[in-house]
Amino acid sequence: MNGPFQLAVFDLDGVLADSARLHFVAWKAIADELGIPFGERANEALKGVDRMGSLRAILAIGGVNLPPDEMERLATRKNVAYLDVVETMGPQDLLPGARRLLDAVRARGMPATLASASRNAPRVLERLGIADVFAHVADPARLAPKPAPDLFLDGARFLGIDPQACVGFEDAGAGVVAIKAARMRAIGIGAATDLPGADQVYPTTDAIDIDRAFG
């Protein structure tokens, strides 16, 4: 649909902050310990994937099978390592253009919600200094992960807004699929070849044409 839009729904990693690199460092330590080759390209495939889904994908790369209790232990270790690094984050870790985008949403009188697969998203928002921007943060612990639309629909339902009056921002293919399944406009950030189905694609958050995205 064409505007006007009533709600902006954001992914976090790779859209507003470069926390994806922090996840990579933490996951790579686990992969190295298990002797599994895990590089930047493999990490790209984990965008928008929850913690246990990411661990399963890494184990699949190495053809490694582990019992559930060991998988839980590794996932917990990864999360502890990630949270240690999160505490070093600050507003300087916002991606270029992120503040401009959030300010544009506010200037239009639109609420914003967060649709991140990370259970640590609320703490990351606090560290970045933008927690007050969001009227609602979806809880991935109780919702189906992307590419299901639940994380994006949650904020719209919380605020009572028609999903077709919402615009979502994503850097992951699974996230774009989720946005379209939610019947929202999808703004992709990254390479167009990695984001099929997006209504608009920009190489970076800083490159987003604000008027066109909300027009």
pTM as predicted: 0.81
User: What are the extents of the domains in the chain?
Assistant: 7-18+91-214, 20-86
Left, alpha or beta for 187 (phi > 0: left; psi -120 to 50: alpha)? beta
Residue 21 belongs to what H/E stretch?
helix 20-34
CATH superfamily to which 20-86 belongs:
Putative phosphatase; domain 2 (1.10.150.240)
Supply the pLDDT for residue 3.
Answer: 56
Give the three-class secondary structure for 67.
coil
Contacts of 121 (CB under 8 A, 6+ apart): 12, 114, 137, 140
Q: What is the sign of the dihedral through the CA atoms of 111, 200, 53 and 76?
A: negative
Supply the pLDDT for residue 1.
Answer: 41
Identify whether the C-beta of residue 113 lies closer than 8 Å to the C-beta of residue 123: no
Give catalytic status of residue 32 as yes or no: no
Identify whether the C-beta of residue 9 lies closer than 8 Å to the C-beta of residue 186: no
- Residues 172, 13: Cα–Cα separation, whole Å: 9
- Residue of 11, 50, 150, 171 marked active site: 11
Q: Is the CATH number 3.40.190.10 carried by domain 7-18+91-214?
A: no
- Residue of 13, 50, 93, 171 marked active site: 13
Q: What is the pLDDT along the chain (215 residues), one digit of tens a residue?
A: 445 899 999 999 999 998 777 888 889 999 999 999 999 888 878 876 888 999 999 999 999 999 999 999 999 999 898 888 889 899 999 999 999 999 999 999 999 999 998 888 999 999 999 999 999 999 999 999 999 999 999 999 999 999 999 999 999 999 999 999 999 999 999 999 999 999 999 999 999 999 999 98
